[in-house]
Amino acid sequence: MAPATRSDAALEDAALEKVATKTLGDGSPAHSFRTLTNDLAAIVRNACSWTDADTDEKTFDIDTTPNPKQRKALDLINAIRL
């Protein structure tokens, strides 16, 4: 597979700046696939029970709330159509 090529000089400058600073246009850190998946792995489902619950009482699940970067990544993943 041939390496990707950048078409426009302005886009190239922006892309090279992102590579050099490792930040996005909004100042947030740029992620690699590995760091993004590590960040997404921080979303967990916790099995919880009431403080005074009996031992045979069912538990309930609570998912951690994704931060804005995780939410954006999840939205992009959900938009993929195969």
pLDDT, tens digit (0-9, with 9 covering 90-100), for 54-65? 888 888 999 999
Whole-structure pTM over 0.95, yes or no?
no
pLDDT, tens digit, for every residue of 29-55?
888 889 889 999 999 999 998 888 888
Q: Name the residue among 63, 59, 67 with its Cα closest to residue 44.
A: 63
Alpha carbon 3 to its chain centroid, in Å, reads 25
Contact 28, 69 (CB under 8 A): yes
How far is 42 from 57, CA to CA, in rounded Å? 28
Residue 48 backbone dihedrals phi, psi, to 5 degrees: -120, 160
Question: In this structure, what token pair is assigned to residue 43?
Answer: 């979303």
